[in-house]
């Protein structure tokens, strides 16, 4: 059976969920990597690996969704709770821009005290006052929160964000798009269809977004396939996803830590990267990150189907809240990509190449 499926994959034929599960559960890791790497070069023949110079600040950690995998959020009145003004955030963006950042990935908790105007002002002022950075703002949960607070529909909220200049949305908040899992780890966050619906409406308007997956907690292999099938189906509708970004659950300081005390292995990460590349036949980019599983594993992921190395992450607070800290800078990212045998290429949020680093820079 596996041999027949491999043949289909090599012939660039779509595999079914049943065939996907067979591959995920029974393929040897190196066979998976080999197949995924072949697809990577069919889709992206150049030996470039892209990266973006970015920062992931947060405007508030107030949240009323209480996901049990999250160490980041606080309730009002708790120690360490914060909400920054638009002025404070613009100042932060300017400082990032001065350091060469081109993408700001901005997310927060779902804070019901913030009016919709706060978000619109954040976008419009960023575009006007910090034009060097691209506002890659707000996860689906925050967008659903904006709809609740403003009494507008999801479509109307997205339309207004589009009108003030937003063009892309980060793909966070998907976790595992299988309701059996969602009910247990994020019961107040809504269903898989809620995430898919925000993305569908966004793509219909013209937004681009990433799609993500947080694995390594209570999900089964079947749930992974359901997740990828949901994402693949939506991509067939509008081709609005730029890239797929998997990462493992980080248990530190989360309620879920009591049940899942460790994060998934590097081997599982490589399997997720390769399997995503194989299953998501309508995605051009798969991100193998230096950040989420460590630099060495990130480098190996570039030989398992990944063609993007993620962002430089000048600021990151969500994983840090779970005691997972990993730092780099642009020069190191360039070196890591080179060491892996590829040509580093700085990209925009929309995966357009800004410059390539063909030659080693002088010391
Ligand atoms: S993951 Fe997001 S929505 Fe869930 S509790 Fe954390 S901040 Fe809130």
Question: Please, are residues 114 and 83 in contact by the beta-carbon 8 Å criterion?
Answer: yes
Q: Is the CB of 231 under 6 A from ligand 1?
A: no
The CATH code for residues 28-356 is 3.20.20.70
Q: What is the total residue count of the chain? A: 363
Q: Is the CB of 21 under 6 A from ligand 1?
A: no
Q: Counting beta carbons within 10 angstroms of the beta carbon of residue 184, is it exposed (0 to 12), middle (13 to 18) or buried (19 or more)?
A: middle
Going by C-alpha positions, the residue among 73, 317, 56, 315 that lies closest to residue 189 is 73
Say what the pLDDT of residue 298 is.
Answer: 97
Q: Is the CB of 73 under 6 A from ligand 1?
A: yes
Q: Is the CB of 109 under 6 A from ligand 1?
A: yes
Query: Where do we find the tokens 């292999």?
Result: 221
pLDDT tens-place values along the chain, 363 residues long: 899 999 999 999 999 999 999 999 999 999 999 999 999 999 999 999 999 999 999 999 999 999 999 999 999 999 999 999 999 999 999 999 999 999 999 999 999 999 999 999 999 999 999 999 999 999 999 999 999 999 999 999 999 999 999 999 999 999 999 999 999 999 999 999 999 999 999 999 999 999 999 999 999 999 999 999 999 999 999 999 999 999 999 999 999 999 999 999 999 999 999 999 999 999 999 999 899 899 999 999 999 999 999 999 999 999 899 998 989 999 999 999 999 999 999 999 999 999 999 876 544
Query: Where do we find the tokens 């994402």?
Result: 231
Q: Which of 58, 59, 64, 67 to mutate to test the pocket of ligand 1 (most atoms within 8 A of CB)?
A: 67
CA 121 – ligand 1 centroid, Å: 22
Please write down the long-range contacts of 307-310, taking CB distance under 8 Å and 24 or more positions apart: 307/40, 307/43, 307/44, 307/48, 307/49, 307/50, 308/49, 308/50, 308/51, 308/243, 308/347, 308/351, 309/49, 309/50, 309/51, 309/333, 309/336, 309/337, 309/344, 310/51, 310/52, 310/245
Q: Which of 59, 78, 110 to mutate to test the pocket of ligand 1 (most atoms within 8 A of CB)?
A: 110
Say what the pLDDT of residue 360 is.
Answer: 62
β-partners of residue 353 are 347
Say what the pLDDT of residue 363 is.
Answer: 46
Q: Look up the pTM and report it.
A: 0.97
Quickly count: other Cβ atoms within 10 Å of residue 194's Cβ.
Answer: 18
The DSSP 8-state label assigned to residue 263 in this structure reads P
Q: Is the CB of 272 under 6 A from ligand 1?
A: no
User: What count of Cα atoms within 13 Å lies in the side-chain half-sphere of residue 218?
Assistant: 16
Say what the pLDDT of residue 281 is.
Answer: 98
Question: Please, are residues 311 and 103 in contact by the beta-carbon 8 Å criterion?
Answer: yes
CA 207 – ligand 1 centroid, Å: 23
Question: Please, are residues 144 and 190 in contact by the beta-carbon 8 Å criterion?
Answer: yes
Going by C-alpha positions, the residue among 214, 201, 227, 314 that lies closest to residue 256 is 214
| Residue 66 CA, closest ligand 1 atom number | 5
């Amino acid at each position: 059976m596996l041999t027949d499926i491999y043949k289909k994959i090599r012939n660039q034929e779509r595999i079914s969920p049943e065939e996907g599960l067979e591959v995920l559960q029974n393929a040897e890791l190196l066979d998976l990597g080999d197949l995924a790497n072949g697809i990577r070069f069919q889709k992206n023949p150049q030996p470039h690996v892209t990266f973006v110079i970015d920062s992931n600040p947060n405007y508030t950690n107030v949240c009323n969704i209480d996901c049990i995998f999250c160490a980041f959020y606080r309730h009002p009145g708790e120690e360490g709770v914060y909400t920054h003004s638009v002025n404070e955030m613009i100042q932060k963006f300017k400082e990032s821009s001065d350091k060469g950042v081109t993408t700001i990935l901005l997310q927060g908790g779902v804070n019901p005290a913030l009016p919709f105007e706060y978000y619109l002002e954040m976008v419009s002022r960023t575009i006007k006052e910090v034009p060097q950075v691209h506002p890659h703002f707000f996860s689906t949960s925050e967008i659903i929160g904006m709809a609740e607070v403003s009494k507008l529909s999801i479509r109307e909220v997205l339309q207004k964000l589009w009108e003030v200049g937003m063009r892309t949305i980060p793909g966070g908040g998907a976790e595992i798009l299988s309701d059996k899992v969602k009910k247990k780890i994020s019961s107040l966050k809504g269903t898989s269809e809620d995430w898919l619906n925000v993305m569908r409406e966004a793509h219909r308007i013209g937004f681009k977004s990433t799609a993500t997956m947080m694995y390594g907690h209570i999900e089964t292999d079947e749930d992974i396939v359901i997740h990828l099938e949901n994402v693949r189906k939506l991509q067939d509708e509008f081709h609005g996803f730029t890239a797929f970004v998997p990462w493992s659950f980080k248990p530190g300081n989360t309620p879920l830590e009591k049940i899942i005390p460790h994060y998934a292995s590097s081997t599982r990460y490589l399997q997720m990267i390769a399997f995503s590349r194989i299953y998501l036949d309508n995605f051009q980019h798969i991100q193998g990150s230096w950040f989420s599983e460590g630099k060495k594993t990130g480098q190996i992921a570039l030989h398992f189907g990944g063609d993007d190395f993620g962002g430089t992450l000048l600021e990151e607070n969500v994983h840090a809240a779970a005691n997972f800290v990993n730092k780099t800078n642009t020069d190191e990212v360039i070196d890591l990509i080179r060491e892996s045998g590829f040509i580093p290429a700085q990209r925009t949020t929309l995966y357009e190449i800004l410059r390539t680093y063909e030659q080693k820079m002088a010391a």
